[in-house]
Structure formats: structure tokens, C-alpha cells
Amino acid sequence: MSPFARHSLSVVPSPGNRASARPPGGRAEECGEIAGQAVAGCHTLTMAVYFECTTRTRTPRPELFDLARSIDAHKDSMSRSREDAVAGVRSGLISLGEEVTWRAWHFGVPIRMTSRITQMEAPDYFVDEQVRGPFRRFRHVHEFSEDSHGTTMVDRIEFTAPFGLIGRLAEKLVLAVYLRKLIEARNRHLTADSQGG
């Protein structure tokens, strides 16, 4: 694997300027591990989960930006969960204000989720947010930067699961780890062509 293609994750408190990350009455908890995986010096919120994945690659920033918003590339990267675009933008590149409805199988059950691109500044960043779906709230910020060594893509994911107290437990013990693995698999697929050299 190329040294420029790396995948990492830390479960950290949402940035202070994100008011929605800490709802009124929300409480930060120290966490020593998540699903048996040690997390050094981390915090997670009782009301929401926030994590980051950072990927380094030789893929030029404009190309990676388009790959990250490509419906077709996303479907290819999620083929194991039989993910398909069934409404809205179903192929090509999704743009600001547009929606896509995904159907996939996760945890052995079919799931539908509609997302909208709520912010976009090419080729620096874009944001997709759940409009309808299984989460109380889901927000995914895609950020891209470039230097002399290559391109850095940072995925910032923040979500709140359903089902009240049970949902919060699932966030910590199952969903955060599961979603991290999905993001990492997607990013490996998107940067596969840059990992050979």
C-alpha cells in the first residue's frame, strides 16, 4: 500500500463551534474503549456521536472531490451491502441542493436513507445530511486539502441514533465502529488507483 493512502479514526468530542454537537443537557463522558477498541484520551457525547477518518492519497484534489460525490463510485464501494440509488440522483455526480435515496442491507435488514447536499464549495468541501432515514440525525462533512505530498481527505461524521437510551448505547458500542469501517472501505475504494506506487 502506498504511504500516501492511510486511514485513521479517532472518536473525539464534536468541535466547540458546532452547537448541535452538544444539545442542552448533553453530557460528555470519558471513554476508555469503544466495542473493545482502546481510544486514548477520547470523549464521546451522550446525545450524539462524532468521529473523523483521515485519508492520504496521491489522487489530485479535484479528482478525489468528484469521486467522493459520485453516485456510481459510492455504489461500487458499497457493493457488499448491496447499496443502490433508488430515487433522486441515481448516477453521475450529485451537486448542491440535490438528493439521493439509498437502499442497502445492514445488520441483515433493508434500510432506506435519503440524503441532501446542503453545502458545497468545490474542490474544498461538501456536506450531506439525512432528510429521511434510520437516524434521528446524520451529517457527513467531506473536506479536501492538498500539499506537495498529495491530497488529504477528512470525513467528519456526526449522528444520533433512534430508540432513546437503547439508541445511545448502540451508538457507542455498534454504530460508530460499523460506520467507521464502512467509511474506511469506501475510502480505500476511492483511492485504490493511487495505492500502487
d(CA 109, CA 40): 33
Provide the H-helix boundaries in 15-121: 61-68, 71-77
Sequence length of the chain is: 197
Instruction: Report residue 156 as a C-alpha cell.
Output: 467528519
193 has a pLDDT exceeding 60:
yes
In this prediction, residues 42-51 reach a mean pLDDT of 61
Q: What is the pLDDT of residues 81-132, one digit of tens each?
A: 999 999 999 999 999 999 999 999 988 889 999 999 999 999 999 999 999 9
Query: CB 160: neighbour CB atoms within 10 A?
Result: 18
Contact 88, 98 (CB under 8 A): yes
pTM of the model: 0.76
pLDDT value for 49: 87
181 has a pLDDT exceeding 90:
yes
